[in-house]
Structure formats: structure tokens, C-alpha cells
């Protein structure tokens, strides 16, 4: 009997200390939550900075519920930030899960801090107040933050403009004062949040952590792992909005990280969206909604990418919707980095912009400076709409495959251009794609550098079984060794076997209207790009090894493969690929 009782006591101790899948709870600062030992909602830890990691707290297999609205209150203008260091790892079988979906009390974390500085606010007249700050930012200030609402203050150009406009603020870098004119003209005491220096998670040398159903606002590098690195980190169904002028809502910064997943998240209002910096290995970005990047004047930047990665490898970007960004998806190699075996598929990218020098492109594989490995890169089943510059851009020496994509109303649908100053070749396959309504070119292909005689003789373009519509004038360019031939479609096809042996210039491609089901020519949804039974795209493609179309239908259906994103079938399913946060 004593032995049985001892075992029961040991089991109770195990669960009470968080081992073998225990639950822990944290609630906002200042709540007086019973014993405040984190063991239940009623006895939750008092604030994020009091969460215990490791023995007696969150350990492998455990779940931490973040409940309620969490922000960091700075009472001194030189006070440090409220960073939370996750100092313990999960395992492959027992991940640590940090979630924000406790029933009736969702978890919300602000990276901006509440300004409760000593000295308070000084009235400056005209319903405007000032507060001296240790350091300042012009990017984001918020008024009256609650669980469900807040006001983003407009940025005024000076004190006079701030006084004249309710709901605005002005940062004076000389006096180090922030001027605020609240929307109701009232006193801003304890009502204003200033960008950064609030809460964020720091992960270094840790792995197997999942953040689930949380909302993060004004976060800068929510995961920042230099120099220890991190791996097997998953973000699922989270919201990441706002970031300062030199930050992205999700910025992975380290030279040693891998197996990162971003799934089903809503990411917006930063200089960039998701950024893998320093060598991104084996990541997955799936079913996210990424939007409004680089659109606030203080965050204008030529690199306003929805998704970007430096030297990525063995990674998948799929089923995302990306809009109102400078560029949808960008890969960049740097001087010594490889870029291998990356798949970009089934994404819907539309309405990119040029604010602050942004490029307005859809999908680009950009800037290989040296002769490094760039093999295994594919983009298929994507939709790119309303990109002023380029729909698809490719500049790598190893074979890039573009299958069953759509480029609609872009400057140039497919821009294939080797990197200047290099001597390697450019190899591209274009099959089963639809290029529609380009403002400049359907295809621009440059196979070698601008200096004659420096090109790799292995340069190759294999383009066939595509649809180009409409055909109007000289919409095809072949630039060989700095000498460009701009031609119509007949002239493009006539290049076969002449200027570039081994290349294919669309002998079986079509110039007919694909008859998308919308029919209005004003396409606003990915489902608008389905084809009907009488479309010339039906059964006009070629097998390229794909097993399904954009909507998840099996390929092929009918008597052959279809061109574009949709494999026609009377009973085929039609649904949005991407996941939108409700």
C-alpha cells in the first residue's frame, strides 16, 4: 500500500511541475491571481516577465496559455525593454506550445510600450501635449489600446500640423519630444503607446517551440536568435501587425537556423513581411495572408517584400495571398550564397506597389553574383496580377522551372535576365503558363552579359505550350550578348534553331483568349482564373510532372493537360487556396 501511495504522489508531483504535458497560465500584470504560480487560470503568473522556464515551470511537452492583453509599461524614459527570453527547448516528441486561445480571454502581446514616463505630459496649447523621450521613432504611435481596438496616430510634419490635426503626433529629434494631439483633444497620460521596447520573445539556442493563435502588434524580430541559432520553430494562426522602419513583423536573423514554419498567419504593416536573413534553410511559409507592406511613408523601402529570403535552400512557399507589397516573393543570393531546391507554388500575388522606390514585382529569383549552385528551383501554379514592373523574374545560371503560372496585367510577364558582370549562363523552362495583358512584354529573355563574347554557350530557354494574349506588336525580346531583338510572336517563333541552338521558342504555344470564367476582365479573386469547357487552354498543355492544380484537383483530367492554374472538370472543386484570418 505504501508503494502505491508513493507512486501516486510522484505522478502528482510530475504533473504539478509541468513535466509530461502540463498546462501553465500567464495573465496581465497587476491582477492578483491567487498564488500566482502559473498552475491554473485562477493562479496564473502575474505578467509575461514572471513566466518560469525550466524546472518548476514550462518544460518540454508543456503548454503555456497567454491570456489577456499584455504590454510593457515604461515609467522611465531610459528604462529597458520587456523582452522575454525563452531559455528552454522542446523536443521532437514533446514540443513547447505557447498559445493565445484560452476560452474567453485571448492572448494579445504588444511590442510597443505604454508611455508612463516620469515628468508626465506638458500642455502645449491647441489640445496638444508633449513628453520628453530618451529615444524616439517616427514610425508608430497608438492611442487607447484595448483588447479589441486602438488608434494609429497619423504622423505630422511639424508641431503646427500636429496641433491642427486631432489623432496625430510629431517627433522632434532636436528636443527629443513627442507631441501628441489625441483624437478627442484630451490628456494623453497613460493612453499612448510608442513603437518597440515592449514585449517580444527572444530565442537563442532553442528548438521545437510552437506559437499558436496569438496576436502580436508592433513586433520587431519576434524571433531573434543571433548568435546561438534556433530550429524547429512554428508560428500557426498568429497575427503580426506593425513594425518599425528597420524591421519586419517576422524577421529571422541568424546564421544558424532551420526548419522554420509560418502557417496560417496574418502579417502586415511593416517594412517587410516575412524575412529570412543570413542563410535560410528548410523553411515553410504556407496559407498566410501578407499585405500592406511598406505603405506607410515612414516604412517606405525598396525592399518592401511580402516574403524574402537570403540564400534559401530546401524550402517551400505555398498557398499564400500577398498584396499591396513592393514585391510578393524575393530570393536573393548575396555574393557567396547558394539557392537550391526551393518550391514556390499556388500563391496568389496581386496589386504590388512602387512606394518609396519599391519594385512592384510578383516572384523573383534575384542576383546571383558568383558561379554558385542555384539548382532545383521551381515556381508552379502561381497567380500574379497587377505588378507594374515584372510578374516573374529569374536570374540564375542553373535550370529554373516555371509551370502552369498566370501573369495578368504586369509590365513584363516573364523577365529572364542573367546577372550583369558575370560569365555564367541562364537556363529556364516555361511550360503551360498564361501571359495576359502585359503592358510591355510577354517574355524578355537575355541569355548573356552585355559584353559580346562573354556568354555561356549553355544558355537555354525552353518555352512551349503557353498562352500569350492578346498579341499586339512587338511583345517578345531576345537579347543575345547585348544585342536585343524585339519582335512579334511570329518573329519570336522564327528564332527557333537560329540564334540559340537547343532553345525552344514556343512552337506549340497559343495566342487565344483563355476565356477565364469571370469574363469581365476585372479580376479580383484567384477563383476568377478558372477556365470553362470551351477554353483553348483545355487539353492544350503538356505533362510536367505535377499531380494537382491550384485548387487541389488531380492532373490530368480529360484527354490532356490544361494550360494555367485550373485543370478543367465539370465536378472539379473550386476553393480559395490561401487561408484568411477572420
Percent of the chain's residues with pLDDT above 70: 85
CA-CA distances (angstroms) from residue 112 to 79, 122, 336? 13, 22, 37
* Residue of higher predicted confidence among 379 and 502: 379
pTM of the model: 0.93
Q: For residue 299, what pLDDT band results from cuts at 50, 70 and 90? A: confident
> Which stretches does DSSP call E strand in 116-273?
122-125, 128-132, 141-143, 151-152, 154-155, 168-172, 177-181, 192-197, 199-203, 206-212, 215-217, 230-236, 239-241, 250-253, 257-263, 266-268
Per-residue pLDDT for 20 more than 70?
no
Contact, 324 vs 351, CB < 8 A? yes
Question: How many Å apart are CA 118 and CA 569, to the nearest integer?
Answer: 68
172-223 pLDDT per residue, tens? 988 889 999 999 999 999 999 998 889 988 877 789 999 999 999 997 766 5
Mean pLDDT of 164-175: 94
Question: How many Å apart are CA 370 and CA 157, to the nearest integer?
Answer: 44
| 3-state class (DSSP) for residue 568 | coil
> 310 pairs with which residues across the strands?
332
Contact, 91 vs 131, CB < 8 A? no
Specify the range with the lowest mean pLDDT, choosing from 5-9, 47-51, 68-72.
5-9
Mean pLDDT of 484-494: 94
Contact, 397 vs 426, CB < 8 A? yes
Per-residue pLDDT for 312 more than 90?
no
pLDDT of residue 432: 98
Question: How many Å apart are CA 562 and CA 478, to the nearest integer?
Answer: 27
CA-CA distances (angstroms) from residue 448 to 132, 182, 420, 445, 483? 57, 58, 8, 9, 10
Sequence-separated (6 or more) residues with CB below 8 Å from residue 258: 231, 232, 281, 282, 283
Burial level of 521, CB count in 10 A (0-12/13-18/19+)? exposed
Query: What sign does the dihedral 551-312-270-267 (CA atoms) show?
Result: positive
Query: What sign does the dihedral 213-218-223-228 (CA atoms) show?
Result: negative
Where do the domains of the chain lie?
2-112, 117-189
Mean per-residue pLDDT over the chain, rounded: 88
Query: What sign does the dihedral 315-340-225-317 (CA atoms) show?
Result: negative
Contact, 419 vs 395, CB < 8 A? yes
pLDDT of residue 223: 59
Per-residue pLDDT for 370 more than 50?
yes
Which triple of cell numbers denotes residue 457?
A: 554557350
Q: Cα torsion for 365, 367, 372, 373, to the nearest 10°?
A: 0
pLDDT of residue 466: 98
Closest listed residue to residue 369, CA positions, set 339, 326, 324, 414: 339
CB atoms within 10 A of CB 486: 15
Q: For residue 457, what pLDDT band results from cuts at 50, 70 and 90? A: low
Contact, 330 vs 293, CB < 8 A? no
pLDDT of residue 9: 40
Amino acid at each position: 500500500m505504501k508503494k502505491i501511495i508513493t507512486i501516486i504522489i510522484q505522478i502528482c508531483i510530475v504533473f504539478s511541475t509541468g513535466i509530461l504535458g502540463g498546462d501553465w497560465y500567464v495573465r496581465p500584470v497587476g491582477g492578483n491571481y491567487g498564488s500566482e504560480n502559473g498552475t491554473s487560470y485562477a493562479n496564473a503568473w502575474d505578467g509575461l516577465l514572471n513566466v518560469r522556464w525550466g524546472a518548476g515551470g514550462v518544460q518540454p511537452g508543456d503548454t503555456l496559455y497567454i491570456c489577456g492583453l499584455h504590454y510593457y509599461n515604461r515609467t522611465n524614459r531610459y528604462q529597458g525593454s520587456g523582452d522575454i527570453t525563452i531559455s528552454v527547448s522542446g523536443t521532437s516528441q514533446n514540443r513547447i506550445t505557447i498559445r493565445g486561445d484560452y476560452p474567453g480571454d485571448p492572448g494579445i502581446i504588444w511590442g510597443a510600450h505604454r508611455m508612463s514616463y516620469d515628468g508626465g505630459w506638458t500642455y502645449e496649447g491647441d489640445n496638444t501635449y508633449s513628453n520628453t523621450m530618451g529615444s524616439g521613432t517616427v514610425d508608430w504611435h497608438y492611442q487607447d489600446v484595448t483588447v479589441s481596438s486602438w488608434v494609429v496616430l497619423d504622423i505630422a510634419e511639424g508641431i503646427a500640423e500636429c496641433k491642427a490635426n486631432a489623432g496625430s503626433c510629431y517627433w522632434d529629434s532636436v528636443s527629443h519630444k513627442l507631441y501628441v494631439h489625441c483624437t478627442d483633444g484630451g490628456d494623453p497620460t497613460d493612453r499612448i503607446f510608442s513603437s518597440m521596447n515592449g514585449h517580444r520573445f527572444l530565442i537563442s539556442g532553442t528548438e521545437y517551440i510552437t506559437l499558436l493563435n496569438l496576436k502580436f502588434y508592433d513586433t520587431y524580430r519576434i524571433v531573434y536568435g543571433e548568435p546561438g541559432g534556433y530550429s524547429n520553430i512554428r508560428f500557426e494562426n498568429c497575427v503580426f501587425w506593425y513594425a518599425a522602419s528597420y524591421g519586419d513583423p517576422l524577421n529571422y536573423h541568424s546564421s544558424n537556423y532551420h526548419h522554420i514554419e509560418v502557417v496560417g498567419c496574418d502579417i502586415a504593416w511593416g517594412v517587410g513581411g516575412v524575412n529570412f536573413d543570413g542563410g535560410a534553410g528548410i523553411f515553410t511559409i504556407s496559407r498566410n495572408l501578407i499585405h500592406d507592406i511598406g505603405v506607410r511613408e515612414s516604412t517606405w523601402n525598396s525592399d518592401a517584400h511580402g516574403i524574402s529570403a537570403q540564400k534559401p535552400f530546401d524550402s517551400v512557399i505555398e498557398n499564400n495571398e500577398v498584396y499591396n507589397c513592393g514585391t510578393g516573393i524575393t530570393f536573393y543570393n548575396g555574393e557567396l550564397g547558394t539557392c537550391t531546391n526551393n518550391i514556390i507554388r499556388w500563391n496568389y500575388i496581386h496589386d504590388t506597389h512602387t512606394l518609396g522606390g519599391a519594385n512592384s514585382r510578383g516572384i523573383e529569383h534575384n542576383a546571383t553574383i558568383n558561379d554558385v549552385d542555384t539548382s532545383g528551383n521551381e515556381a508552379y501554379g502561381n497567380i500574379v496580377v497587377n505588378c507594374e514592373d515584372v510578374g516573374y523574374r529569374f536570374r540564375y545560371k542553373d535550370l529554373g522551372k516555371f509551370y502552369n503560372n498566370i501573369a495578368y496585367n504586369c509590365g513584363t510577364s516573364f523577365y529572364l535576365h542573367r546577372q550583369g558582370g558575370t560569365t555564367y549562363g541562364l537556363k529556364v523552362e516555361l511550360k503551360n503558363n498564361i501571359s495576359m495583358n502585359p503592358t510591355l512584354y510577354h517574355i524578355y529573355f537575355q541569355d548573356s552579359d552585355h559584353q559580346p563574347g562573354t556568354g555561356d554557350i549553355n544558355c537555354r530557354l525552353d518555352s512551349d505550350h503557353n498562352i500569350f494574349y492578346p498579341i499586339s506588336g512587338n511583345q517578345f525580346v531576345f537579347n543575345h550578348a547585348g544585342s536585343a531583338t524585339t519582335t512579334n510572336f511570329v518573329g519570336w517563333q522564327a528564332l527557333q534553331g537560329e540564334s540559340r541552338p537547343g532553345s525552344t521558342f514556343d512552337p506549340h504555344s497559343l495566342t487565344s483568349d483563355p476565356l477565364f470564367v469571370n469574363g469581365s476582365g476585372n479580376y479580383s479573386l484567384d477563383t476568377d482564373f478558372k477556365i470553362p469547357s470551351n477554353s483553348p487552354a483545355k487539353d492544350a498543355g503538356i505533362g510536367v510532372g505535377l499531380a494537382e492544380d491550384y485548387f487541389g484537383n488531380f492532373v490530368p483530367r480529360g484527354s490532356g493537360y490544361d494550360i494555367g492554374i485550373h485543370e478543367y472538370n465539370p465536378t472539379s472543386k473550386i476553393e480559395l487556396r490561401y487561408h484568411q484570418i477572420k
